[in-house]
């Protein structure tokens, strides 16, 4: 009886461990998509500020080049966001079948997310203050861009902290995925469980 109980407990702990990993994969996909959208918006805002500042009595070639570069980076981030959107609904079980995914190095608590947000906000204000006298329009663009970038910390913290609840809701709403998950055992799971223990 004790052997059956031990086996059942091991099975449940494996399912819980695997659920945490799958939940994190889903959270990373969502956070990556939102981050790329934020980066695209920030680069486009900063680029627009530089482009507007360059238009005056004498066109500033350096500012125009900076504007062009920032806008191009923003467009690349937007294209990357489109690619991330197409991948967000890919089968999560297939994504972890071959090997265990690496853990995300990102804030997992509201405190960590707010620390990053405050850091970007302070950076934006400092840069804006330094640029204001010479290039006020660009200063406003930089402050707005940093304000957008400040959202990155809370985005990752929120997605990763709510990952387990979101995955549980997905399993409740998708019977096919829940049935596959119940019998899904990737080859790396037992070794990973041993390392965690």
79 vs 88: CA distance, rounded Å: 14
Alpha-carbon span 151 to 68, nearest angstrom = 24
- Do residues 31 and 156 touch, judged by C-beta distance below 8 A? yes
**Whole-number average pLDDT of the chain:** 86
Q: pTM of the full predicted structure? A: 0.84
**Residues contacting residue 88 through CB under 8 Å, at least 6 positions apart:** 29, 30, 33
Digit-coded pLDDT (tens) for 105-138: 888 888 889 999 999 999 999 999 999 988 899 9
Share of the chain above pLDDT 70, in %: 90
Question: Confidence class of residue 11 from pLDDT cuts 50, 70 and 90?
Answer: low
Greater confidence, 2 or 147?
147
| Cβ atoms < 10 Å from Cβ of 15 | 15
What is the three-class DSSP state of 106? coil
Indicate the pLDDT class of residue 12, thresholds 50, 70 and 90: low
Q: Quick one: which of 60, 157, 165 has its CA closest to 111?
A: 157
Please write the tens of the pLDDT for every residue from 52-111: 888 866 667 888 899 999 999 999 999 999 999 998 888 888 888 878 887 878 888 888
Dist. CA 100–CA 14, nearest whole Å = 13
Q: Give the per-residue pLDDT at 59.
A: 65
């Amino acid at each position: 009886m004790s052997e059956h109980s031990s086996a059942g407990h091991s099975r449940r702990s494996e399912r819980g461990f695997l659920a945490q990993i799958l939940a994190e994969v889903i959270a990373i996909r969502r956070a990556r998509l939102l981050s790329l959208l934020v980066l695209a918006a920030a680069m486009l805002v900063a680029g627009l500020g530089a482009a507007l500042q360059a238009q005056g009595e004498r066109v500033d070639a350096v500012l125009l080049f900076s504007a062009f570069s920032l806008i191009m980076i923003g467009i690349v981030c937007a294209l990357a966001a489109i690619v991330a959107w197409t991948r967000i609904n890919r089968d999560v079980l297939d994504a972890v079948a071959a090997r265990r995914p690496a853990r995300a190095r990102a804030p997992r608590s509201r405190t960590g997310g707010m620390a990053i947000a405050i850091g970007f906000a302070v950076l934006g204000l400092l840069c804006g203050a330094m640029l204001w006298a010479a290039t006020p329009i660009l200063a406003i663009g930089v402050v707005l861009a940093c304000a957008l970038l400040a959202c990155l910390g809370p985005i990752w913290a929120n997605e990763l902290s709510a990952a387990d609840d979101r995955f549980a809701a997905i399993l409740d709403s998708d019977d096919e995925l829940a049935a596959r998950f119940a019998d899904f055992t990737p080859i790396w799971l037992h070794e990973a469980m041993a390392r965690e223990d």
